[in-house]
Amino acid sequence: MDNSATTPVRKEVVEEMLPYLTENFGNPSSIYDPGKVSKRAIEKARQKVADAIGADENEIYFTSGGTESDNWAVKGIAFANRHKGKHIITTSIEHHAVLHACSWLEGQGFEVTYLPVDKFGMVSPEELKNAIRDDTILISVMLANNEIGTIQPVEEIGKIAREKKIYFHTDAVQAIGHVLIDVKKMNIDLLSLSGHKFEGPKGCGALYIRKGTKIEALLHGGDQERKRRAGTENVPAIVGLGKAIELAAGEIEEANKPLLDMRERLIEGLLKIPKTHLNGHPSQRLANNVNVTFEYIEGESLLLLLNAKGIFASTGSACNSASLEPSHVLTACGVPHEIIHGSLRLSPGRMNTLEDVDRVLEVLPEIVQKLRNMSPLTPQEYRTL
C-alpha cells in the first residue's frame, strides 16, 4: 500500500531490459556494431518517452531519476537566464528536490517566492499571476503532489507562464501513469519524471526540455545526451524506462478505474474512524492516493504496527521518512502541528485488490484504537472503556 514511494518492475519491462544486461552490453558512444545496438535501443526508448507526454524525440534527456531532473531544470534555467533576472516562483508543497534546489539558489543570489496553497493543497493561478515580476525567469509547480495527491491546474499555470514569456517547469514524477499529459497543450517547457514510480527501474529518469529552451548543463564530462548530460548511459534502465512509460501511458484509463475503486473504499472506511481527517483535494487527486490524519496518535508507531500485520504504508514522502520534522506539505495545508504526526498515506498499485483494501480496513481501526488507548493525549471519550 505504498506505491507512491516505489513500484515493482513489471515483467514485460524486465524482459525488455535483460538483453542489455547480458549480450547487448556495448557502450552507446562506441562506433562499432555492439555500441550501435545500444545506441539504437536508447533512441527507441527516447521516442517512447516523447510519445507518452506529447513531446518530440529530441526534447527528451535521460537522467538518474526525478531528483536529478528537478535539480537540472531549476538550476539549469536559473544560471542560463540570470542575465534576464534572478526571480523564481515555486510552491510551498513541492518535493524537496525542487525546494532544496531553490534554497541553494537563494544562497547564490537568486530570489524565490514560495506560493501558499489552500487547505486542499491547491495553488491559486491568480496568486501565481500576482507573484510574477519583471525579473521572473522560472515558474516550477508540480503536476501532482506526492504526499496528498492533489492535482494542480497545470494547464492554466502553463498558459500564464507562456503569455509572460517565463519558463515553466513541472515535476510530474508522481503523475506519470495516472494523469494524461500533453506538454504542448499544457504549455510546459520542462517536465521531470522517474521510472520507478510507474513500474520501471530505479535510478533512471528523464527531463523533457522544450526545443529552444536556454538551460545550462548540470553534469560536465563527455558528449552524451547531445552534450547536455555527461556520463555513460545506463542502457538497460533506459530501455526499461521506455517500456514502462509506454505501458503506463497506454493504460491510464484502464489502470485508474480499479485504483479509484480502492481509493474510494479506503476513504469511506477510514473516515468512519472518529477524529480522522482526509488530506488533499477530495476529487482533484491521484487515483491511488489516500492521505488521512488520525488525531491523538503518532504515525511512526502506526506504521510499525501495520508492518507487523504485513501492511506497508507511509506517513508521507519516502524520501523524507526518517525525518522527525512534520510534513511540510500538511503544514502548508494548515493541518494543526499537533496532529500532523498522525498522518498516514496509503497508495495502492496495480497488484492490489479490493480484498487488500478490506484487510486494511479490518486491521487499521484496531491499531488506531490501541495507540489512542496508550496516548495520554487521548480524551476519555475516544478511549476503549
Active site residues: 319
Cα distances (angstroms) measured from residue 53 to each of 60, 305, 353: 10, 40, 28
Which strands sit side by side in the sheet containing 290-294, from one edge to the other?
A: 276-278, 290-294, 343-346
- Whether the CA torsion 149, 150, 156, 157 is positive or negative: it is negative
What one-character-per-residue DSSP string does 109-122 give?
Answer: T-EEEEE---TTSP
* Phi and psi, residue 367, nearest 5°: -65, -45
- The answer to whether the CB of 347 falls within 8 A of the CB of 197 is no
- Residue 277 CB neighbour total at 10 angstroms: 16
Q: How far is CA 345 from CA 1, 7, 93, 263, 370, in A?
A: 8, 15, 16, 11, 19
Which helix (H) or strand (E) element contains residue 207? strand 205-209
Note the helical H segments in 18-32: none
How does 174-207 read in b/e, with b if 16+ C-beta sit within 10 Å? bbbbbbebebeebbbbbbbbbbbbbbbbbebbbb
Query: Taking Cα atoms as reference points, which of 379, 235, 377, 349 lies closest to residue 1?
Result: 349
- 214 contacts: CB under 8 Å, gap ≥ 6: 77, 80, 81
Longest dimension (CA), the chain: 77
The CA–CA distances, whole Å, from 314 to 102, 311, 330 equal 26, 10, 14
Q: Which three cell numbers stand for residue 294?
A: 488520525
Residues 356, 360, 361, 362, Cα dihedral to 10°: 100
Alpha-carbon torsion angle 43, 46, 48, 54, nearest 10: -130
CB–CB of 149/311 below 8 Å? Answer: no
